[in-house]
Amino acid sequence: MILKFSERLYADLNKDLNTLLLEEDHLVKRLEQSVHLCLRSLRKLKDFCKQHEPGSAEEEIQFFKKIKPKFKCQLIFHQSLLNIELRKPIGDSKVISDYYSQEINILNHFFESNRSFFQYVRTQATYLDQHYFMRGQYDVQLDPDLCVIDFDPAFSTSHDNKLAQVLASALLQEHLEQAICKLSRKEAISGTDQELTDFDWKQTKVALIELVYSWHATEAFGKKNLKSIVKFIERAFNISLGNFYDTYDWLCGRPSPTLYIDEMKEAFMTRLQKKLKY
């Protein structure tokens, strides 16, 4: 029962986060709203868990190893990224890249400080699960999360929060590395041709996803798969399209799935009519 509920809840959370990614262009505002979405989902998960206790040790381990950490991971990721963006210095690409690199060094220090647990997670080991992911366990030899003392004992184990931190840190490092790459590409373009520095996508992300699916359907880039086209477009237009699969499902349910393409056609025909008049 918990598994089915959590899957639906996590799918709803991802959908809400993706919708926010498409609709809110201001990064800090989007991250603030994302944090609130994650908190709301985590509260719902907590309430459901207290009303529907795991029926066995295996279910309890699964919940605190596989289910809760992925919700908490999203909260930690968005809150940490928000903190990083709020502290970001004013300066050129090199200043910001150096700042992001320092943040990556902090993450590397976290991984190094928790090396044994990180290795346990990466190798998908299970031999310590009953100590890490069952409530009421606190083995001082296994470097438990000290914050567990202040946590709700009915909704916490000694390591589920640390697992969420590990997962969030991995997401954060990937995000920062991609941000540094984008800054490097901008710097490279700036050094070669100044006219190419301001070609960020100015229309909505939904509009661009309409085009991406149209390009894929018409094989505009040959036999390239959809994911590779999305990556290319994100890099070319300096944009993140989020979960474009969910956006496509949403497009299919709209009264007019090709709203932007229709708008483009109308704009082109208007321009054509003006030319024909002269």
Q: Are residues 203 and 147 both part of a single domain?
A: no
Last residue of a domain, one of 194, 213, 237: 194
B/e letters for 49-62, b = 16+ CB within 10 Å, e = fewer, are beeeebeeeeebbb
Residue carrying the six token digits 């909260």: 75
Beta strands in the chain (DSSP E): none
| pLDDT at res. 238 | 77
Name residue 88's amino acid. Answer: K
Pull the structure tokens for residue 138.
């606190």
Dihedral angle over CA of 150, 120, 76, 88, nearest 10: 120
Q: Are residues 175 and 252 both part of a single domain?
A: no
Residue carrying the six token digits 């206790």: 53
Pull the structure tokens for residue 276.
């024909």
Q: Are residues 52 and 144 both part of a single domain?
A: yes
Q: Are residues 90 and 34 both part of a single domain?
A: yes
Nearest to 110 by CA among 154, 55, 164: 164
Q: Are residues 178 and 66 both part of a single domain?
A: yes
Q: Are residues 53 and 117 both part of a single domain?
A: yes
Rg (CA), the chain: 23
Q: Are residues 167 and 211 both part of a single domain?
A: no
| pLDDT at res. 197 | 58
Q: Are residues 116 and 241 both part of a single domain?
A: no
The CA-based diameter of the chain, rounded to the nearest angstrom, is: 84
Pull the structure tokens for residue 245.
């699969």
| pLDDT at res. 192 | 53
Q: Are residues 211 and 99 both part of a single domain?
A: no
Cβ 175 vs Cβ 167: under 8 Å: no
Q: Are residues 136 and 42 both part of a single domain?
A: yes
What is the extent of the structural domain holding 117?
A: 2-194
Pull the structure tokens for residue 192.
């070669």
Q: Are residues 95 and 233 both part of a single domain?
A: no
B/e letters for 65-90, b = 16+ CB within 10 Å, e = fewer, are bebbbebbbbbbbbbbbbebeeeeee
Name residue 229's amino acid. Answer: I
Nearest to 155 by CA among 47, 271, 20: 47
Encode the chain (278 residues) as per-residue pLDDT tens digits: 788 899 999 989 988 988 888 777 788 999 999 999 999 999 999 999 889 888 889 999 999 999 999 999 999 999 999 999 999 999 888 899 999 999 999 999 998 988 899 899 889 899 999 999 998 887 777 776 766 656 777 888 989 999 999 999 999 998 899 888 878 876 665 555 555 556 678 788 888 999 999 999 999 999 899 989 998 888 888 788 888 888 888 888 888 888 889 989 988 888 888 877 76
Q: In sequence order, which residues have a C-beta less than 8 Å from that of residue 226 and are 6 or more positions away?
A: 212, 213, 216, 244
Q: Are residues 160 and 255 both part of a single domain?
A: no
Count of structural domains, the chain: 2
Last residue of a domain, one of 168, 194, 220: 194
Last residue of a domain, one of 159, 176, 194: 194
Q: Give the 3-state secondary structure of residue 13.
A: helix
Kindly state the DSSP code that residue 67 receives in the 8-state scheme: I
